[in-house]
């Protein structure tokens, strides 16, 4: 028989136990082999050692969530306690290794596909990640979730979001408003993701105090980014020089995720995307990971997968046709010489 006492001194006991002990009843139903008692701000567990350890891990996760957010929904409470046995109770995302971060009102943000899970795994061991894939594969959303997780875990001090503003040629001065208002339209997908993961009042606080910062790529030059999680979104629209500039801004205790879709380059025809070159020449460097997402990672409408496949097939046909035309031209040239 093993006993353990868990203190709830750092959270509101009413939020943990629920009205009329509704959440506490869920806890007791989850662990029927344990004797679970509540005494003021303490919970006492009695039973087999493995059961006690498992319950301690689950309860610890719930306490940490309450410490960060102040509110814990019954749905989230039940979801955590309904998961399979956790493998490691020492880390706050150990309840389920698919969970990236906990959003407002108990929303659980998960890695939904194998490559999204791979992004989460390699982010712990690498400081720079290239996540390249078509639209709808969740590369940006997953990147933001990893950045928010790092901020909440105090692994970094700030989040920096940046994106090339190619539609305005990186010259934003003619647009109305301050810098934030000028670049906001280009960063809307990043803000949408943040809204899912951080309560609005806390997000406003983070923005006001530059804990979460937005900056167009053209404004990154000359900076050294320490203790930060930096996301460069739509990197296919950055030039070779811009991407090199960005990568050399990364300072001590910083992480960066570069996302892009090489099939949607919006640069002028006389400019080449720097993303393709970067993913080619930065292979094999320790600390830099490369994740290639594909149609299997699409988490939008079911038709998006078919749309991506159709465009890929058409591109292959066009490339094959161009190669046939070049071969015919070469044959004609050889015929002229003969």
Q: What is the pLDDT of residue 314?
A: 85
Residue 136 contacts residue 298 (beta carbons within 8 Å): yes
Q: What is the pLDDT of residue 169?
A: 44
- How far apart CA 163 and CA 255 sit, in angstroms, is 16
**How does pLDDT run along the chain (338 residues), one tens digit per residue?**
889 999 988 888 888 888 888 889 999 988 999 999 998 889 999 999 999 998 888 898 888 877 766 677 777 787 777 644 333 333 344 444 577 887 776 677 888 888 998 999 898 889 999 999 988 888 999 999 999 999 988 899 999 998 887 554 445 555 566 666 666 777 777 888 898 898 889 999 999 999 998 878 877 887 888 999 999 999 999 989 999 999 998 989 999 999 999 888 888 888 889 999 999 999 999 999 999 988 777 766 667 667 877 887 888 888 888 888 888 878 877 776 65
Place of tokens 């990236």: 100
Q: What is the pLDDT of residue 129?
A: 96
Q: What is the pLDDT of residue 218?
A: 78
Count other C-beta atoms under 10 Å from residue 156's C-beta.
Answer: 22
- How far apart CA 146 and CA 294 sit, in angstroms, is 20
Place of tokens 């910083």: 254
Residue 196 contacts residue 219 (beta carbons within 8 Å): no
In the chain, the DSSP E strands lie at 2-7, 35-39, 42-47, 99-102, 108-110, 128-132, 158-163, 212-216, 228-232, 255-260, 288-292
Question: Token pair of 192, please?
Answer: 């949408």
Q: What is the pLDDT of residue 86?
A: 36
Choose among 130, 127, 128, 161: nearest CA to 144.
161
Q: What is the pLDDT of residue 299?
A: 66
């Amino acid at each position: 028989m093993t006993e353990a006492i868990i203190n709830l001194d750092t959270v509101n006991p009413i939020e943990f136990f629920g009205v009329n002990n509704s959440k506490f009843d869920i806890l007791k139903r989850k662990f029927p082999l344990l004797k679970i008692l509540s005494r003021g701000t303490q919970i006492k567990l009695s039973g087999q050692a493995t059961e006690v350890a498992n319950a301690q891990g689950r309860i610890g996760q719930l306490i940490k969530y309450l410490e960060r957010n102040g509110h814990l929904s019954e749905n989230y409470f039940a979801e955590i306690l309904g998961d399979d046995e956790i493998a490691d109770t020492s880390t706050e995302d150990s309840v389920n290794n698919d969970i990236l971060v906990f959003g407002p009102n108990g929303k659980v943000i998960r890695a939904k596909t194998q490559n999204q899970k791979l992004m989460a795994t390699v982010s712990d061991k690498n400081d720079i990640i290239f996540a390249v894939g078509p639209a709808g594969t969740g590369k940006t959303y997953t990147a933001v979730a990893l950045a928010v997780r790092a901020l909440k875990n105090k692994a970094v001090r700030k989040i920096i979001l940046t994106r090339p503003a190619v539609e305005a040629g990186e010259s934003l001065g003619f647009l109305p408003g301050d810098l934030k208002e000028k670049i906001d339209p280009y960063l809307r997908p990043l803000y949408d993701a943040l809204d899912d993961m951080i309560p609005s009042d806390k997000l406003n606080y983070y923005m006001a105090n530059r804990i979460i910062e937005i900056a167009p790529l053209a404004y990154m030059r000359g900076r050294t980014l320490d203790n930060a999680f930096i996301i460069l979104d739509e990197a296919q629209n950055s030039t070779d020089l811009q991407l090199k500039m960005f990568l050399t801004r990364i300072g001590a205790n910083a992480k960066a995720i570069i996302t892009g879709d090489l099939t949607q380059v919006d640069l002028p025809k006389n400019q080449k995307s720097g993303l393709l070159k970067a993913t080619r020449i930065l292979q094999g460097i320790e600390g830099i990971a490369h994740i290639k997402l594909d149609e299997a990672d699409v988490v939008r409408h079911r038709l998006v997968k078919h749309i991506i496949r159709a465009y890929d097939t058409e591109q292959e046909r066009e490339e094959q046709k161009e190669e046939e035309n070049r071969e015919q031209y070469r044959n004609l040239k050889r015929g002229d010489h003969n």
